[in-house]
């Protein structure tokens, strides 16, 4: 067995107007941006799937545009997560997963289920939601991650629930949202959201060094001791894990450069 999982870093999406001059070569057409971006970083988190449903040919085209080994993480449709009773999300979950995501094949990375800052932890209801997440879609293996945004989730029960369902808790480096670094799935998913447009690499070189060190620990199956956890008393099994790191939101103009600088370090 490999002593370490694969570490991948990227940014959110590939179409962002400032990148036309800060990241993409001059005069590169919009139609070729994914082709270019997917050769600079090994993964991209797709945000558009959170807002609207795409069709199978679109996913197939993305897969064809990206090179072998590239991975797309998809943010799941908001209709599945932005609801009062999560247990009733079954139809939305199925509609999203059946919309053609399996067309990505081995380029399909984790599915990110993001919850609103108003959603509080309800063990029974959240557990019912996790039960709705299938292991496969059209024969393609699915990996699920959840991003929560209230401190009510900073409890051991949340960690135990996610671990039971083999679902990763997103580590959010964010000014307001809770930071939960407990490892609960067979991969790790981190969203770095406190970058700066004034910093050429989004995060400072010192901060990138620190995040690269943490990613290597995660990949080896260990846990960084300098990040907060919801259940410090329980440990995940020590086994190699793939690690996904995304430079998102703050410092978005420099996000691709942050991901590239991070990859140089790992």
Task: State the pLDDT at residue 249.
Answer: 85
Across the range 69-87, mean pLDDT stands at: 97
Overall size of the chain counted in residues = 266
Per the domain annotation, does 219 fall within a domain? Answer: yes
CATH of the domain at 53: 3.20.20.410
> How does pLDDT run across 93-150, given as a tens digit for each residue?
999 999 999 999 999 999 999 999 999 999 999 999 999 999 999 999 999 999 999 9
- Give the burial string for 172-209 (b: 16+ CB within 10 Å, else e): bbbeebbebbbbbbbbbbbbbbebeeebebbbeeebbe
Q: Could you tell me if residue 2 is inside a domain? A: no
- Assess if residue 1 is contained within a domain: no
On average, the pLDDT of the chain sits at: 96
Q: Which domain holds residue 35?
A: 7-265
pLDDT of 2-17, one tens digit each?
689 999 999 999 999 9
Whether the full predicted model's pTM is greater than 0.95, yes or no, is yes
Domain membership flag for residue 40: yes
Structural domain total, the chain: 1
Query: Is residue 138 domain-resident?
Result: yes
- Residue 251 — pLDDT band, cuts 50, 70, 90? confident
Mean pLDDT value of segment 161-167: 98
How many C-alpha atoms does 102 have within 13 Å on its Cβ side? Answer: 13
**Is the Cβ–Cβ distance between 22 and 253 less than 8 Å?**
yes
Structural domain contains residue 232:
yes
Residue 264 pLDDT level (bands cut at 50, 70, 90): very high
146 by Cβ neighbours in 10 Å (0-12 / 13-18 / 19+) ranks as: buried
């Amino acid at each position: 067995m490999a002593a370490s999982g694969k570490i991948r870093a990227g940014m959110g999406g590939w179409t962002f107007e400032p990148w036309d001059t800060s990241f993409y070569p001059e005069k590169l057409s919009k139609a070729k941006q994914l082709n270019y971006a997917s050769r600079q970083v090994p993964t991209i988190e797709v945000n558009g799937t959170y807002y609207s449903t795409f069709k199978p040919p679109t996913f197939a085209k993305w897969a064809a545009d990206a090179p072998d080994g590239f991975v797309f993480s998809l943010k799941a449709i908001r209709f599945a997560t932005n609801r009062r009773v999560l247990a009733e999300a079954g139809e939305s979950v199925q509609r999203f997963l059946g919309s053609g995501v399996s067309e990505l094949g081995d380029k399909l990375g984790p599915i990110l289920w993001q919850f609103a800052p108003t959603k509080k932890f309800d063990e029974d209801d959240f557990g019912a939601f996790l039960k709705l997440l299938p292991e496969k879609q059209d024969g393609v293996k699915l990996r699920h991650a959840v991003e929560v945004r209230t401190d009510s989730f900073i409890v051991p029960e949340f960690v135990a629930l996610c671990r039971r369902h083999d679902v990763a808790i997103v580590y959010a480096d964010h000014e307001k949202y809770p930071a939960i670094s407990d490892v609960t799935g067979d991969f790790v998913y981190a969203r770095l959201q406190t970058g700066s447009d004034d910093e050429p690499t989004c995060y400072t070189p010192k901060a990138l060094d620190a995040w690269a060190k943490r990613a290597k620990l995660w990949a080896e199956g260990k846990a960084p001791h300098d990040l907060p956890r919801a259940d410090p008393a329980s440990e995940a099994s020590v086994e190699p894990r793939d690690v996904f790191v995304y430079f998102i939101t703050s410092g978005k103009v420099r996000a691709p450069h942050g991901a590239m600088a991070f990859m140089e370090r790992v």
